[in-house]
């Protein structure tokens, strides 16, 4: 049976079924809105990326974690993301 959750030192993650890549990339942005719709293709990102439902372990805050292969994509996402 496949493991559904990925646990890192900071998060417990559940991959989105729409991810093309189920990899936790180096650059991360935690979004404290567990029910916000995040349409990553609409951000016109240059590199690989992945979206996860997330529980931040230090305070058990639920949200979403977006991980990016490129630091510029992480910066672009942080500047342009607005929760619905």
Residues facing residue 56 across a β-bridge: 11, 61
Kindly report, residue by residue over 33-63, the tens digit of the pLDDT: 999 999 999 999 999 999 999 999 999 999 9
Q: Note the pTM of the prediction, 2 decimals.
A: 0.91
Strands (E), the chain: 6-7, 11-15, 27-31, 49-56, 61-68
In whole angstroms, give the CA distance from residue 17 to residue 14: 9
Bigger pLDDT: 14 or 21?
A: 14
Identify the DSSP state of 78. Answer: H
pLDDT at 21: 86
**Two tokens, residue 50:** 């992945």
Res 2 pLDDT > 90: no
Res 64 pLDDT > 90: yes
Share of the chain above pLDDT 90, in %: 85
């Amino acid at each position: 049976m496949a493991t559904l959750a990925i646990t890192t030192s900071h998060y417990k993650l559940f991959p989105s079924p729409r991810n093309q890549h189920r990899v936790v990339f180096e650059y991360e942005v935690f979004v404290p809105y567990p029910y916000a719709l995040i349409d990553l293709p609409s951000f016109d990102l240059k590199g690989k990326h992945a979206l996860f439902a997330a529980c931040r372990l230090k305070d058990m805050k639920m949200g979403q974690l977006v991980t990016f292969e490129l630091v510029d994509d992480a910066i672009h996402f942080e500047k342009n993301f607005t929760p619905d």
